[in-house]
Structure 1
Amino acid sequence: MSAWSIDRITQALSGAMWTFSSLPDDNSAATFVHRCFRRESWRKAGFRERILMYVALPFAPFVTLVLVIVFTALSGRAIKKQTGKGIIRQVREQIEIALQCTILPPWYYIFELHDDDKRQRASEYINRFEVKTCLYRILRDYNGGLPIPAERSTSCIKDKLCFLSRCRKFSITTVPVFLIVSKGKIKAIDWSGVGLPETDLFVKPLQGENGRNAMRWDYLGSGQYRRNDGKHTTAEEVLENLCKASRRRSFLVQPRLINHREVADLANGTLATVRVMSCRNERGEFEATNAVFRMAQNETVVVDNFHRGGVAASIHLHTGELGNGTCGAWGFTGEGWYERHHKTGVQILHRKLPCWTELLGLVRHAHERAFSDQVVIGWDVALLDSGPCMIGINKAPDLDMIQRIGRCPLGNERFGKLLAFNLKRTVEAMHQPF
């Protein structure tokens, strides 16, 4: 099931559950964000979407119960072993949280709401469907309430070649592209030789997310390459296969990057990246609010995406120091937290990332100069021996990972306050009293 369908389904189900839930009677940023979502998602919903919410209403209790059964079966015993909290009590708490805060059972475990202190702050968590299906889009469409520039950067976010071109225009360090393979044809970009460069390569779709259809080819010498799944082939065969596959989707051929020597042991053979959240603040500047360090579980995996089973650890924003790590399997969160990488045994906790000040500077520079029409951005940055390197950008960054890894809701933290501030200004720009 795609992330899009998950977001749409949970939005419809949670929309139906608004009937049973109520928001705190306070002036907090989190409450404003939730109210803004409820009002704007209903206002913008078409006839079919409104009908879907009404149709989902009688099924909401049943679907919630099914989710309780499924996710308690996945994580309930592990949580009982860790905390001593019984299965029946976990089930009761999931139902209460769903009714009170429209937080569905999967997120009871993702956000560790079996912890009594965290559950007291359940209303402060921002649901992914709130931002991904509604609030991010409103902020983009109205530029956070500020004048909309003639040239928008949105089209350069999903298109990786456009992203590369924009980064170069504004002197943002990013990954070179050797070749583009599209519709069976090969176009050289940063490569003037014949065939493939004799070096390790990373191949990914020109348009796409979450590392899908990405491949790594390690150069073995004498024109031979080995794919990440162990397959051996020649340079000619690599290009031939890419040309065939490119009839369905276009590919970029780039050099394989290696992490900075001080964190290479954490990378586990796959490039580890830092996800940094940045947001426009009250002064119109761009501020980093949260950061997470992502690692792959093993070297056969070519990407470090958290929702594809990767390992992640929080980063202290001012010092660049890592917290405990945890896995990102969406359906199972019972493995808990660990000071060392659970596959390699490498120390994670208290490790300090190199070039941290430079990385934050790169993010601020990129947001201010190249993507200033985006209110919120999730940046993916790699730490190399040469310094920080921009890998990718996300205009609708997921908050599940940030809130789980940070072990804290974002609603009333700095990110939530900035989100509420920009939403208020946006609502005013839309000429809707709030």
Structure 2
Amino acid sequence: MFSLATAVMAFILLLSPLRSSDFVIDPLNALVATVMGLTLYRRLQVSTSHVVLRAAAFIWLSVLVVTLVLEWLPVHRAELRDVFSLKESAEVFLWLLAPIGLFIVSRFERVPALVKLLLICGFLVQTVVVGLEFIEESPHLGVSPDGAETFSDFAQFVFLQFYLIAFALLLLYAGWSPISRHAESDVHSGPLGNRARHIFDAYRLFTKGRFPKQRVAHWPGVLPIIDFGRIVLWTGTLGMEVQRNFGVPIFRQIIDILLLMMHCGLDAQAYYMLELYRRDRQRKAGQYLTRYETKNGLLTALNYLIPKNGHRSNLSDKAAFDRVCVEHGLEVPRILAVAQHGEIAWRNLRRLTEVPGLFVKPAVSKGARGTEIYTVVRNTTGTGSAQYMSPDGTLLSELELSTRIAGQSMEEMLLVQERLENAPSVAPFAQASLVVIRVITCLDAQGRPTVTHGMLRVLSKLEAGWPSAAEYGAPVDLATGELGWLSSDKREDAFDFFDHHPVTGARVAGALLPEWAAVKALALRAHDVFNDRFVIGWDIAVTPEGPVLIEGNAYPDFAFLQRVHRQPAGESPIGPLLQSGLDRLVAVRGG
């Protein structure tokens, strides 16, 4: 609102024939003084036991009142300026107050770095303006007085914008919101999500831009643009439905999102997908983790607290992962062939004639990127070799299949695995794809893995005939293996939770996984092997022969996990374990 007000004033200044006067700049100075005064008043309400700080705050507030009078009461301006014997007293007062303001603001424990940067930039530009006030008529500059005054007014407008935006953000951050009492945290304490983000920022833990995946998103200044773009996109798409079904006006939704961005680092997507328009959920906002801090460096920092035992396991290298699993007796899909640089090497052609299909995937990847499913079509007469149905519906001979996979391996190394079949307990939830159970395990303080979450996963992108490319997930009760309501990761399904599968029609909520105990046991055995990772998300298939380990993810997606369970990570079983890990991280980093 403050920034909008100054923008309107600037527009009036450009159009007005009186723009050479101070009739716009002076009210802007008054507006800045007002905002500073409100911020300082808020700080005094919070109170501080530091005597010097409190005295400086009172002095600053007193001088701000004088500055406000100088700029906003033109009737008495001349007399007051005579008293203070300064030609441009208000501007000089603001400049003298700036260092005091920066000092006091720097004592706030949770001031965003952006606010501090804006205040410093504003002070530097303001110093230039004050200097010009004293030398703008000097003949040695070689600049006309009108030109110097024009430049001074422009620079003054710039630093006022810096101050207005910074203090407006600071006022929001200081606690004028219904969730402020839940957002209090620092590196030592606080709700899990807020504390994790404070630690991520304070210790500069950013290592790699895994989320968002686009490299440009991590350029300076781009992420705020993306966040505000999400407000437009998500509110424009879902705002009316939230207003209609939950009674939250669109304007209030936008305010909520802005406050969540300031207090908790949650964006518009999180607001709608995590149901934060519900007041009971919003009060827990500080407990939610986001992909940004977990994928971009926080989990990496937690991993480095654990001894490597000579090397750091690479869960993304599927070939190496398969080799380690086989060495330790973990059940994994058998690799039938490896293709690289245009050549394919079959390991077991006899097995090829027995499997129901083939699953081809990149040797180094995450998730379902680049995967393909080939179905074996056997000759019913018993004569001739089997053929293979490709994802696009083409029938291939064994030679054609080998040629095709070999050609694809020119770009990256591929693994050809046997295609697993779903057990009867999970088969109704898919048609062509393999249903997996995502199991989250986390190390406790003694280094022992613990199962904290279970989630049934169905990837629509592997189902050619399905209308959506959504990922579906349903929570698994840790004690009983009972499934909860199914939900999707797509915006169009943001308000939908299904008791029956939306495509197959199978009942999900209330269904039992009889293999759940064996699935948990396999996840714990796997984490015992890959015990140099703090948190791992395991994808485990449930086959007629029992659970089979598909892959491990060192950077699991907490956003979708929290949506599926309708519970923030901080209030889930992983919450205390992550808090303990953050305690150790703070201790190692020097507190």
TM-score under structure 2 length normalisation: 0.63
Question: Alpha carbons of 1:102 and 1:148: their partners in 2 closer, same or farther (altered >3 Å)?
Answer: same
Query: Once the 2 structures are TM-superposed, how far is the Cα of residue 231 of structure 1 from its aligned partner?
Result: 2.3
Cα 1:148–1:29 shift into 2, 3 Å: farther
Kindly report which structure 2 residues correspond to 1:342-353, keeping only aligned pairs within 5 A, or say none. 342-353=502-513
Which residue of structure 1 aligns with residue 269 of structure 2? 106
Distance in 2 between the 1:194 and 1:160 partners? 20
Higher Rg: 2
Match of 2:484 in 1: 323
Structure 1 residue runs without a partner (length 5+): 1-13, 46-51
CA distance in 2, matches of 1:162, 1:346: 37
Instruction: Specify whether residues 43 and 383 from structure 1 end up closer, same or farther in structure 2 by C-alpha distance, changes over 3 A only.
Output: closer
| Counterpart residue identity of residue 526, structure 2 | A
Unaligned runs of 5+ in 2: 1-111, 117-168, 175-182, 209-216, 379-384
Corresponding position: 1:334 with 2:497: no
Q: Does the Cα contact within 8 Å between 1:78 and 1:335 map onto a contact in 2?
A: no
**Greater shift in the superposed pair: 318-327 or 87-96:** 87-96
Q: Find the counterpart in structure 2 of residue 136 from structure 1.
A: 299
Q: Aligned-residue CA RMSD in angstroms? A: 2.9
CA distance in 1, matches of 2:352, 2:422: 26
Question: Does the 8 Å CA contact 1:78/1:334 hold for their aligned counterparts?
Answer: no
Q: Is the contact between residue 379 and residue 393 of structure 1 (CA under 8 Å) also seen in structure 2?
A: yes
Distance 1:25 1:185, change over 3 A: closer
CA distance in 2, matches of 1:416, 1:198: 42
Q: Does the 8 A contact of 1:16 with 1:54 survive in 2?
A: no
Instruction: Pick the structure with more strand per residue.
Output: 1
Q: How does 1:204-219 map to 2 (within 5 A)?
A: 204-219=361-376
Taking the aligned partners of 2:462 and 2:369, their CA distance within structure 1 comes to 16
Cα displacement (A) at 1:321 = 0.6
| Deviation of the 1:195 alpha carbon | 7.9
How far did residue 175 of structure 1 move?
A: 0.6
1:239-286 Cα distance to aligned partner (Å, 9 max, x none)? 111111101011111111111112211123311111111111123211
- Residue identity opposite 1:217 in structure 2: Y
Paired position in structure 2 for 1:252: 415
Alignment of 1:60-71 (within 5 A): 60=224, 63-71=226-234
Find the counterpart in structure 1 of residue 531 from structure 2: 372
Partner in structure 2 of residue 149 of structure 1: 309
Q: Determine the structure 2 residue equivalent to 1:56.
A: 221
> Is this contact kept in 2: 1:16–1:53, CA < 8 A?
no
Matched to 2:554, the amino acid is: K
Shift of residue 236 of structure 1? 1.4
Percent identity over the alignment is 25
In structure 1, what residue type is equivalent to 2:581? N
Listed as ranges, the matches of 1:22-33 within 5 Å are: 23-25=183-185, 27-28=189-190, 30=192, 31-33=194-196
| Matched-pair contact (CA < 8 Å) for 1:216–1:302 | no
- Counterpart of 1:168 (choices 282, 306, 326) is 326
State whether structure 2 residue 454 is matched by structure 1 residue 291. yes
Mapped to 2, the partners of 1:404 and 1:55 lie a distance apart of 30
Structure 1 segment 389-408 matched on structure 2, within 5 A: 389-408=548-567
The alpha-carbon distance between structure 1 residues 17 and 169, as it changes in their structure 2 partners (threshold 3 A), is farther
Q: In structure 2, how many angstroms separate the alpha carbons of the residues matched to 1:194 and 1:169? A: 21
SS at match of 2:442: strand
Would you say 1:178 and 2:336 are equivalent positions? Answer: yes
Q: 2:574 is matched with which residue: 415, 420, 425?
A: 415
- 2:287 aligned partner: 124
